[in-house]
Structure 1
Amino acid sequence: MTQTTDHGPAFPQIPVQVQGGRRAALAGCLLRGATAAGLGLGVLTVLVMVVWISSPYPDSGPHGALRVAASLWLLAHGTELVRSDSLYGAVAPVGITPLLLVLLPALLVHRAARDPLVPDPEGRRPRPSARGAVVAVTLGYLLVGLATTAYAAGGAIAPDPLSAVGHLLLLVPVAATAGAWTANGRPCGPLSGRLPDRLRIGLTRAFLPGSRAGAAVRTATAATAVLLGGGALLVAVSLVWHADATQDSFLHLSAVWSGRLAVLLLGIVLVPNAAVWAASYGLGPGFAVGTEATATPLALYGDPALPPFPLVAVVPGEGPGTWLNWSAVVVPVAAGLAVGWFAAAPRGGPAGRAGGAGSFVRRRDTALDALLGAVLCGVAAALLAAASGGPLGTHRLAEFGPVWWLTGAAALVWTAVLGVPVALVLRIWRERGTGRPWYRPSPPGTGTGTADALSTAPGAGMPGPPAPGPATGGDAPGTGTGAGTGTGTAPRVSLRRPPRTRPVSAPAEARAQGPKTGADAKPDARPAAEPDAKAVRKDPEPPARASALEVLDALDEAAGPYDFLPPTPPTPATSPMPPAATSDPARPWAAPPSPWPSAPGAVPKRTRKPRQKPDPAPKPTPTDQPHD
């Protein structure tokens, strides 16, 4: 019993190296691409088969349900479908792509290209190159996509072959490239050497942290998110406002739960499309409801062709709009405020808010950031409008959704007109009471700040101007401030030199009388110093509106050579070294006398003689006095 249940020590697992190297890795990437396509196709197939099995009256057999699932999978990539069993007997296109359904293949391809490029800590798995992984994943996915297109061609809702191939070639390589870029840590460079130098350097600088492109992308992303969020809020409010019409449409489309489940799932994946339509409605251009009608906040023009669907029931009724319709203008106003807020924010993030690099830029740059963010927001709105619309049939149903170029232009106008002034106002408001210049200050420790062209901070690696003061003797210049080595932000100091003191000349009357001689002359304790030519020189006065270069040129012409260096102290005259002293043979234990005069014993000490007091003058005796 013990021998059966007890286990011995486990053998250590030795890593097994995969044979094949890069070829095996590329083959694995090819298999990953095919697997990603199969997973997406399998998810939609399961949903379609569940609805088909639960339907009490299926229209076709399992082959028809599988072809419908394949067509829906291709529709998730943007492929236009063709419906052959229309009421009029003609072929009817179905070109509205559910935007939420697009996320399924995009995420699967992204992961299929990212996983093989992640480094293996144990080193057992070969790692392919980024370019090879993208190509292999794309080829594997396209093989499954082409086979699916060929299989779905015989169904009731068949895909257009050219549209299928075109959208697969557009979506799959982009998602695979994004996956490889994510696996490499989302680097911003270096770019390929095949690009021109100017283009490569410009793109690298444009996407550096804290650059204008980064600020514009951040601003456009925030504005686009506000537009989509505001559109989704409008859809939710309209669904609640038209709750009765939405409920009637949902219940009358199908009487069984399987059909209602299909309608519910279709409505969920079309919610992003409805949000884009609502955002275009708030921007002003609105959206088309058929070829003969357009819904705008002002009114619903024309005769709308509204198919029975819950999301279509929220479209405003015919006639002029009311204040409820006009309130949709809040969405673009919020997007414009978002542009201004993010454009006026510091570029450096938390470090910039703390006063580091990128904390403050010029006001002109702030306005340009807001304008560039508005342009990118308009481009994003146009792309979303083009992807969210399409035909639902022929004749009156041939056009549904917003017009992409009108939506993009309206988004650009709204965000630019509101975003630029708001950004400037916020910039001025944040600078109130701080006395910040138009240029951002340099962070501590860098010494490369941008300041006024006619000023500089002392201690930034430049020689300081000499301080005013008289000469200390001879021709030695006065002592001034030397060259600083520190960095930081200091108060501005003008480049103009301070006025120098001129030697004070004697008054005119003293010069006319001439030098004093005799008893009136007083000996001068110090010799007269010759006037310094540099002290007498007068600095040129620059013009009042001179530029920085003119001021510097004038100072260079006036300054003498090496004027900023301190005076060199005179070198003391060297005295010859005295000969070495010899020791006394009678006293070998005694140290030899030092040859230096300052040493004790080398020079005899001078004894100070006591000061003798002078004899007092003899007092006159009475005998020496003259007699009268």
Structure 2
Amino acid sequence: MNRLTASLLAALEAFIVVAIGVFIPLVPLTLLWAIQYGFEIDWIVFWRAASDIWLLGNGVDLTITLNDATLQVVGLRKAAEPFVVGFAPLAFALFTVLMGVRTGRRAVRSGEWLPASITSLIVFAACSGAVGLSALNPVATPNVVAAFVIPTLVWGLGLAIGVGIGLAGEDDDPVMRRLDDLRDRVPDHIAGLGVQALRGATAAVAALIAVAALVVMVSIAINFSGIVSLYETAQLGVVGGIAVTIAQIAFMPNIVIWAASWLVGPGFSLGTGSIVSPSGTITGPVPSVPILGVLPDTDLAFGFIGLGVPLIAGFIAALAVRDSAVHAIGIRSKVAHLAVTALAIGVIAGLEMTLLAWWSSGALGPGRFVSVGPHPWLVGALAAALVGVGALLGMASGSSERVAASARSASRLGQERDR
């Protein structure tokens, strides 16, 4: 595929991803405009709302300024001043990243991944900025500079992952040759242990997130009648119920990360002065959102059992990478190197959980809702400690005979390469 064709296809994919991302909230909002409001309101209001939702989901903060009529309905004196909403529905960012991965891999297969990637970034930034400019209004004002930059960075993250995956098997690519040259300057056992630590940490966090998703699913099943009651109390109607359900699905990645933070220990907050954690639940008044019906009403007697999940995740992840780590160590001191690798697994897992917790939290409104979600650094620190302890146990649980055999095999392979 020639350079022009690859660049045009990448640009088209970037445009389509932005269009689909905006249309996902726009479709139910348009149905609401037609059915609920009978075409009486200007449709551009719903376009701006859909644009705001997409921008918010991709990390762009909104400044909300409510008029007097809305303030009377809301009844919050603190809402009289402009306030920032930065609580992102992560399903939109996840969609952008996954589509970026797909585009990056396709760009590598085209043989012209660099110009294709640059073109797609430029087009995505232009489309994202255009959405931000079209969403400007006196009530909800997105940060225009952030509208050009932050969604493009999210797209670029997926693009970089996709290109990296595509180039992993390409030995003749100049970028891969440069990376190989850099890696040759690092001792083999250090590079090998670093790779295994990253693999183990990512596997541990993935396992923790998977268990958290299962916990959310079970909680929804157990509390389904309460969720239905909240739907009935809200009296949303068919179209309104569909719109609220789609909105809750958009926030489902946030909820799963919150559940993972609960399993780690710190839990999460639903505003200043509230806490949902294994040590206790104090929520105070919360919005009547149906999905919040899964929250525990009282303290859970056996809530601290959840702390075993990150321990077990670290243990299993360490066992999974232990043999590869032993091969990387060779005939060197196995105990010290395996211990350092286990600690590295904990540290990297803690950093990953810090990023996820930070990404899933934000400002939801004025007053006590300026901070909603988990505390990133506390979640990361406890995740690092628990996963690290589990990884130490996992590294210490292998067969000594197998370790010795693996070390001898690695030593022989190294000697053969030296010859």
Task: Assess same fold via TM > 0.5.
Answer: yes
Q: Structure 2 length normalisation: TM-score?
A: 0.83
Mapping for residues 183-582 of structure 1, pairs under 5 Å: 183-185=166-168, 187=170, 191=175, 201-202=184-185, 211-301=192-282, 304-317=284-297, 321-347=299-325, 362-424=334-396, 426-427=397-398, 430-431=399-400, 434=401, 437=404, 440-442=407-409, 446=413, 448=415
Structure 1 range deviating more: 67-76 or 186-195? 186-195
SS in 2 for 1:295: strand
Q: Are residues 38 and 271 of structure 1, via their aligned partners in 2, closer, same or farther at CA, if it must alter by over 3 Å?
A: closer
* Residues 360-398 of structure 1: per-residue CA shift (max 9 Å, x gap): 992333222221111111011000000001111011111
Give yes or no for contact 2:219–2:294 (8 Å, CA) kept in 1.
yes
Q: Does 1:105 align with 2:104?
A: no
Give yes or no for contact 1:92–1:392 (8 Å, CA) kept in 2.
no
Give yes or no for contact 2:269–2:275 (8 Å, CA) kept in 1.
yes
Give yes or no for contact 1:242–1:314 (8 Å, CA) kept in 2.
yes
Q: Distance in 1 between matches of 2:48 and 2:93?
A: 19
Aligned to 1:474: none
Aligned to 1:579: none
Q: Distance in 2 between matches of 1:226 and 1:441?
A: 32
Q: Are residues 284 and 112 of structure 1, via their aligned partners in 2, closer, same or farther at CA, if it must alter by over 3 Å?
A: closer
Q: Distance in 1 between matches of 2:373 and 2:125?
A: 30
Give yes or no for contact 2:93–2:154 (8 Å, CA) kept in 1.
no
* Residues 456-480 of structure 1: per-residue CA shift (max 9 Å, x gap): xxxx99xxxxxxxxxxxxxxxxxxx
Q: Does 1:95 align with 2:78?
A: no
Give structure 1 stretches of 5+ with no counterpart. Answer: 1-17, 120-126, 451-459, 462-628
Q: Are residues 365 and 148 of structure 1, via their aligned partners in 2, closer, same or farther at CA, if it must alter by over 3 Å?
A: same
Q: Distance in 2 between matches of 1:373 and 1:387?
A: 21
| Corresponding residue pairs, total | 408
Q: Are residues 71 and 422 of structure 1, via their aligned partners in 2, closer, same or farther at CA, if it must alter by over 3 Å?
A: same
Q: Distance in 2 between matches of 1:150 and 1:179?
A: 29
Give structure 2 stretches of 5+ with no counterpart. Answer: none
Q: Are residues 33 and 205 of structure 1, via their aligned partners in 2, closer, same or farther at CA, if it must alter by over 3 Å?
A: farther
Q: Are residues 140 and 445 of structure 1, via their aligned partners in 2, closer, same or farther at CA, if it must alter by over 3 Å?
A: same
Aligned to 1:502: none
Code of the residue aligned with 1:138 in structure 2: it is L
Q: Distance in 2 between matches of 1:271 and 1:206?
A: 40
SS in 2 for 1:442: helix
Q: Distance in 1 between matches of 2:288 and 2:349?
A: 33
Code of the residue aligned with 1:312 in structure 2: it is L
Q: Distance in 1 between matches of 2:388 and 2:340?
A: 10
Code of the residue aligned with 1:118 in structure 2: it is R
Shift, 1:34, TM fit: 3.0
Q: Are residues 437 and 201 of structure 1, via their aligned partners in 2, closer, same or farther at CA, if it must alter by over 3 Å?
A: closer
Aligned to 2:163: 180
Aligned to 2:109: 118
Q: Are residues 334 and 92 of structure 1, via their aligned partners in 2, closer, same or farther at CA, if it must alter by over 3 Å?
A: same
CA RMSD of aligned residues (A): 3.7
Q: Distance in 1 between matches of 2:404 and 2:357?
A: 42
Q: Distance in 2 between matches of 1:324 and 1:40?
A: 41
Give yes or no for contact 2:60–2:150 (8 Å, CA) kept in 1.
yes
Shift, 1:439, TM fit: 6.8
Q: Distance in 2 between matches of 1:215 and 1:182?
A: 17
Q: Are residues 203 and 75 of structure 1, via their aligned partners in 2, closer, same or farther at CA, if it must alter by over 3 Å?
A: farther
Code of the residue aligned with 1:90 in structure 2: it is E
Q: Are residues 80 and 359 of structure 1, via their aligned partners in 2, closer, same or farther at CA, if it must alter by over 3 Å?
A: farther
Q: Distance in 1 between matches of 2:89 and 2:207?
A: 20
* Structure with larger Rg: 1
* Residues 555-577 of structure 1: per-residue CA shift (max 9 Å, x gap): xxxxxxxxxxxxxxxxxxxxxxx
SS in 1 for 2:286: coil
Q: Are residues 243 and 399 of structure 1, via their aligned partners in 2, closer, same or farther at CA, if it must alter by over 3 Å?
A: same
Q: Distance in 2 between matches of 1:49 and 1:259?
A: 11
Q: Does 1:143 align with 2:126?
A: yes
Shift, 1:411, TM fit: 0.2
Q: Are residues 443 and 408 of structure 1, via their aligned partners in 2, closer, same or farther at CA, if it must alter by over 3 Å?
A: closer
Code of the residue aligned with 1:274 in structure 2: it is I
Q: Are residues 358 and 112 of structure 1, via their aligned partners in 2, closer, same or farther at CA, if it must alter by over 3 Å?
A: same
Give yes or no for contact 1:346–1:360 (8 Å, CA) kept in 2.
no
SS in 1 for 2:408: coil
Give yes or no for contact 1:250–1:263 (8 Å, CA) kept in 2.
no
Q: Are residues 173 and 90 of structure 1, via their aligned partners in 2, closer, same or farther at CA, if it must alter by over 3 Å?
A: same
Code of the residue aligned with 1:337 in structure 2: it is F
Aligned to 1:170: 153
* Residues 155-182 of structure 1: per-residue CA shift (max 9 Å, x gap): 7444222432341242122222333334
What percent identity do the matched residue pairs reach? 24
Aligned to 1:592: none
Q: Distance in 2 between matches of 1:66 and 1:257?
A: 21
Q: Are residues 446 and 39 of structure 1, via their aligned partners in 2, closer, same or farther at CA, if it must alter by over 3 Å?
A: same
Q: Which runs of 4+ in 1 moved over 6 A?
A: 192-195, 356-361
Shift, 1:98, TM fit: 1.9
Q: Distance in 2 between matches of 1:26 and 1:389?
A: 36
Larger RCO of the pair (alpha carbons < 8 Å, separation 6+)? 2
Give yes or no for contact 2:91–2:251 (8 Å, CA) kept in 1.
yes
Give yes or no for contact 1:84–1:157 (8 Å, CA) kept in 2.
yes
Shift, 1:135, TM fit: 1.3
Q: Does 1:62 align with 2:43?
A: yes
Code of the residue aligned with 1:151 in structure 2: it is S
Q: Distance in 1 between matches of 2:65 and 2:301?
A: 44
Code of the residue aligned with 1:176 in structure 2: it is L
Q: Does 1:134 align with 2:101?
A: no
Shift, 1:239, TM fit: 3.0
